[in-house]
Structure 1
Amino acid sequence: MSQSWQNIGVSIVIPTYKRPDDVVRALKSVETQAAEHDLCEIVVVDNDPKHSAKEAVEAFIRQGSADVTFVHEPNPGVSNARNTALNHAKGRFIAFLDDDMEACPGWLSGLLKSAKDYQAGLVFGPVKAVMPVEENTYFAYMSGAFDRIPYEDNGYIDKGVATGGCLADRQSATFPTPVFDPALNQTGGEDDVFFRYLMRRGVKAYWTNEAKCLEHVPEKRAKLSYVWKRNFAFGQGPTQEAADKGVNGLPGVLYWMAVGSAQSLFSLPGLVFYSLTGSPKRVRSLVKLSQGIGKIFWMSAFNPKLYGN
């Protein structure tokens, strides 16, 4: 029986937006890993209307050995970019990598092994932040706000983590159409909606420490204002998930709003104290406060715009 893209194929999907140098770094990190697997391709989607990554990616294609497809999606938006990538991807297994990420050795193998060994339709691994400079005291505290390491041990998990660095098995369930909601192009959260959709249909999610990635935080994001927006959006997640259940989710909405109120109340004094004393520890208090307030103001009218223009 001949193998095909539908039963063993792997597509590594890398959306990019105005980061030509970063996307080349991401490509280099998976080039060798892709070659280790039969029927493995890389799909790069340039989401900049001016296709700023085209020249850099085409130069990589000419010099490299990986099977790379370059696609231009001129309509900015994180959902648009990923949906366009999936329309071109041939593989059964979709491995997502963001353009500011770098896959560590063994990342792809770790994802695939977990998917196959544990019949998991979704697999997630740790993402460690790399700040612009190491000697900045604030960055030492800020890096934790960008890390995505919610679990210590390998095993099944009851909710998704993030699209960047994860793997999805197209055979696990029928994906929604479109896969990622375009209404969330600028605010984010499209991955949470996608994960919940699959898991409500019985898809298993698995966490493995054997599939590590790095996230290179650009200087323009290594600021307290962005940390606030990012964590405010994270805080909105659980309340919004409860609200999506309609009337049945009302107890959950009230619960998470109460949690957010308590979280905000307890973190505010620390933020004030550390701010007055000039301590970098205020970053941690800011994270807790922003997540708490996000749980309270979870409605779409308050969604921060994190992507695109």
Structure 2
Amino acid sequence: MTIAVSIVIPTQRRPAGLATALMSALAQTGVDPASLELVVADNDQVPSARRAVEAVAANAPFPVVYAHEPAAGVANVRNTALRTARGGLIAFLDDDQEAPAGWLAALLTTRARHDADVVFAPVHARAPQSEAIYRPYFERFFSRLDDAEEGPIDHFYGCGNSLLRRASLPGGDTPFAVERNQIGGEDDLLFGNMQAAGARFAWAPDAWVWEDPIPSRLTLRYTLARAFGYGQGPTEHCWSSTPRDLVGVAKWMLIGLGQTALYGPIALAKWALRRPDRAQALDRAARGLGKTFWWGPFRLIFYGRTA
């Protein structure tokens, strides 16, 4: 039978998270296993995930394929996964996510019902009880929530927990922009370009997954840096678009200045008063700064390290 759907898990030195993601992907129900394959794309310099993947493959209900991409970078590993995958539909699951048994079937149902090129779905983050003060903030930060009902949407999200129709992807074998290898946002750039070209997006509220952020990410130092990077996204996208959208660049920079002017003093006051909700105000201020300071020396490296 022809492979219709490739479940893709990019990974880099997260053995525990990868094991959970693998088991959840292989436990999918409501989909003919003969139409599926699982592709694990390893972005470590050495093939550190190969043994674990091959061990799982021995008893898997459908083919499990290992791909090694030693060249560091989030776009590199996603592109390698796509080149390896055989399915006309690509379901992305991150290596810190766990999918319920009906996850893939829900994604496929929404895609078919609305003839979508890309389907996005919720992510529910879980932070340990030990993160008492900032736990609500961390769980909101790493979650993806939307009040939309199932159906078409006019916006997009990141690649983790999404379903893509391969034929709708631009760029041949490398739809993810390699210039985003270290800073991230390669998926935002791809989906932004697809939207400009008329791609159809849909939301599948029943296709949710859990996300368990690694401990090193459960710090304000990390989340505020990421908030700054997320803030850079819309301004940088306008700059990178063809033709370049200078009006959009100016608009987002001004919005960023306004957000910083509003939330900066609020964040400082809440920090001085040791308010438990201070993290959210700091997050808003950081996103505003990112919209304003988005070019060269202000770009932060989040990916691409293999040592």
Same fold at TM > 0.5: yes
CA RMSD, 1 decimal = 1.9
Amino acid of the structure 2 residue aligned with 1:4: T
Q: Aligned partner of 1:144: which letter? A: R
Contact 1:131 1:218 in 2 (8 A): no
Q: How does 1:108-123 map to 2 (within 5 A)?
A: 108-123=104-119
Deviation at 1:152, TM superposition (A): 3.4
User: Per-residue displacement from partner, 1:223-243 (whole Å, max 9, x unpaired)?
Assistant: 011111111111111112222
Alignment correspondent of 2:9: 14
Q: Segments of 4+ in structure 1 off by > 6 A?
A: none
SS of the aligned residue for 1:263 comes to: helix
How many angstroms apart in 2 are the aligned matches of 1:105 and 1:63?
A: 18
Measured after TM superposition, the shift of residue 248 of structure 1 is: 6.0
Match of 2:267 in 1: 271
Identity over aligned pairs, percent: 38
Asked whether the 8 Å contact 1:47–1:75 carries over to 2, the reply is yes
Matched, 1:84 2:57: no
What is the aligned partner in structure 2 of residue 29 from structure 1?
24
Aligned residues: 304
Pick from 225, 231, 246 the counterpart of residue 235 of structure 1.
231
Cα displacement (A) at 1:43: 0.1
Does the CA contact (< 8 Å) of 2:118 and 2:163 recur in 1?
yes
> 2:193 aligned with 1:197, yes or no?
yes
- TM-score computed with the length of structure 2 as normaliser: 0.93
The amino acid that maps onto 2:9 is I
Report if the CA contact (8 A) 2:106-2:204 is conserved: yes
Taking the aligned partners of 1:198 and 1:246, their CA distance within structure 2 comes to: 12
Once residues 71 and 246 of structure 1 are traced to their aligned partners in structure 2, the CA distance between those partners, rounded to angstroms, is: 33
TM-score, normalization by structure 1: 0.92
Q: Residues 233-288 of structure 1, C-alpha deviation per residue, up to 9 Å, x if partnerless?
A: 11111112222346762222221111111111111122112212222311101110
Q: CA deviation at 1:216?
A: 0.6
For residue 102 of structure 1, report the CA deviation from its aligned partner: 1.0
Residue deviations 1:203-230, cap 9 Å, x none?
1011120110111111100001111111
- Code of the aligned partner of 2:207: A
- CA offset digits 1:140-198 (Å, max 9, x no partner): 22211111114432232223200000010013354444111111111101001111222
Residue 95, structure 1, aligned to residue 91, structure 2: yes
CA offsets 1:97-132 (integer angstroms, 9 cap, x no match): 110111123211111111111110000001111113
Q: Give ranges in structure 2 of 5+ residues lacking alignment.
A: none
Shift of 1:21: 1.6
Gap regions ≥5 residues in structure 1: none
Instruction: Quote the residue 2:149 is aligned against.
Output: 153
